[in-house]
Amino acid sequence: MRSRLSLPARLARGLFLAVMLAWSVGPILFIVMSSFKRQVDIFVYPPKLVFTPTIDNYLKLTTQWKGFFDAMGNSLIVALGATVLAGVVSFLGGYAYSRYRSRLTSWTAVYMIAVRVLPPIVVTLPLFPVVDRLGLGDTHILLVLLYATFWVSLNTMIMKNFFDQIPYELDEAAYVDGASEWQLVHRILARLTLQGMAAGSIFVFVFAWNEYLFAMIFTTNRAKTAPLILSELMGAVDGTEWGVLFAGVTLQLVPVVLLVTLARRYLIAGLAAGAVKG
Amino acid sequence: MHSRPRLTTWLYLSPLHLLLLAILTAPSVYVFWLSLNESSYGTGLTFVGLDNYRMVFSDPYFWRAAVNTFFVVNGVVYVELVVALALATQFAAGVPLRGAMFACILMPYAISEVVAVLVWKMMMDPSVGAIARTIEGMGFGMLNWSASPTIGLTLVGVINVWTHLPFTFLMLYAGLLAIDPSLYEAAQIDGATRWQRFTRITLPLLVPTILIALIFRLIFAFRMFSEVWLLTKGGPARLSEVLAVYLYQHGFRYGDFGIASATGWLMVLGSLLLASVFLFAMQRSMRGA
């Protein structure tokens, strides 16, 4: 696809890429830089790119807003829980859809994708009274179930496509050697579909780590996640606390930004398998 | 090679379908029942038939929310698709510092809607925001998004594109990588121009991926809640509400689960309608001739 471009075309292309770069990274850079600025420097116009960094905001965060770190802990528990649950569920489902086929399985697969399109806010209504009666309100387990469920459909499709790439002859060879189906699945096929699991896991983890709506409706105290705390602080801070808020936001976003940028290879593989081929 | 399903097959599928049944299917059926009743936070149900739907359809705020949703969804999705396509073709053709550039473009995908709203709110603040002041300095006037529903919803759209562009870009890029490179080589030998290669090879072969990306994004944008709720709370005077915010107001602010459920069921129908194209195609491929 490479060929020589004229000079104006190359300039236009460079400009486009530069704008996209600033658009993507600029706001994140603004947050991270502000978290190291003194209060007086944050809203100086035009914004200062060179300034004396301070970690005061982070120190204040640890002393004044201890609740934030509990919330980060909750986010971690919920995100890991949802990732593991969705991983296991879609691994098993992906295997079944890859190796077995009938009219009924194909209809259940369509149903699986169809329910995924339901807007999350719609299920909050019927779940709201039920959750309270079951004692699941404000618990980690409820968020884990909700977050995992919203990804099992796509992740099952991703896993199905990864299973599809493993030749059926391998299954047959394993059966000839006397392996049971379960041994084949969890000893042999699991190792060969790790890439698919990695891709699916990133989607779930990022979603669960950042989710706002369910957390707002279904948690009040013990299971509050970091985005929820940040949204509350955002409404509550007065003029002098912006730096502290930015410090909290920075701590919340750095782990997932690293995860996404370092694991981008898996994201492409996952989308190629789940959406493009699915 | 596919076997007929056995009893164990359904065992492998059971965790998946139990989760879907408990968290999605049963609740959305129950929402329909809730929409035919009057209730306070889903308790003390009184059957009222289609009254809730009648009330929703005669509520000007509902229509306002529906129109807002329509404009925001369409604005967001098509702008995003065009930019993502341009970006994906640039990446497929090769860009300098590819790995680093790719990582940077992906970054907003990792950002919570809460954080996205926070940072755009700060940058667009009429009195202290860097971007708002630059726009004002350029003579475009003050962008007071908290007073004007149009500007407010435009900002909502900008934030929505910012957080979702990486996902759309990734999908289209994955689709581009699946195109056989020898096609381009053949075209080049035949003397096709860059633009001809794009319109004659890339676009036609990318149509399925573009359609999937489009439907994905339509469905996701249709359920938009957080950006609006965190930025404007639907204000001023409920003029910037979208459907999900309208539902939330009635359900969780006023405790009127009847109206909220009727809205919810209408949103379900809307989403299914959007998705039916995709589902139809998928069902055909799963049955796999």
Query: Which of A251, A254, A197, A256 shows the shortest CA–CA distance to A229?
Result: A251
Q: How far is A149 from chain B (nearest CA, A)?
A: 6
Surface of A (116-135) touching B: CB under 8 A:
116-129
Domains, chain A = 55-276 (1.10.3720.10)
Q: Tens of pLDDT along B250-269?
A: 999 999 999 999 999 999 99
Higher pLDDT, B62 or A42: B62
Q: Tens of pLDDT along A59-114?
A: 999 998 888 999 999 999 999 999 999 999 999 999 999 999 999 999 999 899 88
The C-alpha atoms of residue A46 and residue B133 are separated, in whole angstroms, by 9
List of chain B residues whose C-beta atoms are within 8 Å of the C-beta of residue A250: none
Q: How far is B150 from chain A (nearest CA, A)?
A: 22
DSSP string, A248-276: HHHHHHHHHHHHHHHTHHHHHHHHIIIII
**In Å, what is the CA distance from A35 to each residue of A51, A91, A167, A184, B113?**
12, 40, 52, 51, 19
CB of B216 within 8 Å of a chain A CB? The answer is: yes
Higher pLDDT, B70 or B142: B70
Q: Look at B247 and A114 and tell me if their CB atoms are within 8 Å.
A: no
Region of poorest pLDDT, from A136-140, B82-86, B191-195: B191-195
Here the tokens at position B91 are 């990446």
Provide mean pLDDT across the span B49-60.
95
Name the closest residue on chain A to residue B188, using Cα atoms.
Answer: A1
Residue A1 has pLDDT above 60, yes or no: no
Q: How far is B121 from chain A (nearest CA, A)?
A: 10
List of residues 6+ apart from B120 with CB closer than 8 A:
A27, B155, B158, B159, B162, B231
Here the tokens at position B253 are 């602010």
Higher pLDDT, B281 or B106: B106
A235 neighbors A253 (Cβ within 8 angstroms): no
For A102, the closest of B4, B110, B213 (CB atoms) is B4
Surface of A (227-256) touching B: CB under 8 A:
227-228, 230-231, 234, 242, 245, 249, 252-253, 256
Rounded to two decimals, the ipTM of the complex is 0.92
Q: How confident is the model at residue B155 (pLDDT cuts 50, 70, 90)?
A: very high
What value does the mean pLDDT of chain B take? 90
Domains, chain B = 49-287 (1.10.3720.10)
Q: Tens of pLDDT along A118-149?
A: 999 999 999 999 998 999 999 999 999 999 99
pLDDT value for B289:
39
Residue A21 has pLDDT above 70, yes or no: yes
List of chain A residues whose C-beta atoms are within 8 Å of the C-beta of residue B160: none
**In Å, what is the CA distance from B206 to each residue of B104, B166, B171, B189?**
24, 18, 11, 22
CB of A202 within 8 Å of a chain B CB? The answer is: no
A103, A117, A189, A204: best to mutate for the B interface, most B CBs within 10 A:
A117
Q: How confident is the model at residue B277 (pLDDT cuts 50, 70, 90)?
A: confident
DSSP letter at B25 equals: I
Sign of CA dihedral B151, B154, B160, B162: negative
Instruction: Give me the count of residues in chain A.
Output: 278
What is the signed CA dihedral for A230, A232, A233, A234, rounded to 10 degrees? 80
What value does the mean pLDDT of chain A take? 91
The C-alpha atoms of residue B54 and residue A252 are separated, in whole angstroms, by 44
Q: How far is A58 from chain B (nearest CA, A)?
A: 17
List of chain B residues whose C-beta atoms are within 8 Å of the C-beta of residue A267: 106, 170
Provide mean pLDDT across the span B71-78.
95
CB burial class (10 A; 0-12, 13-18, 19+) of residue B125? middle
Provide mean pLDDT across the span B30-38.
94
pLDDT value for B243:
97
Q: How far is A202 from chain B (nearest CA, A)?
A: 10
Residue A229 has pLDDT above 90, yes or no: yes
List of chain A residues whose C-beta atoms are within 8 Å of the C-beta of residue B113: 210, 212, 227
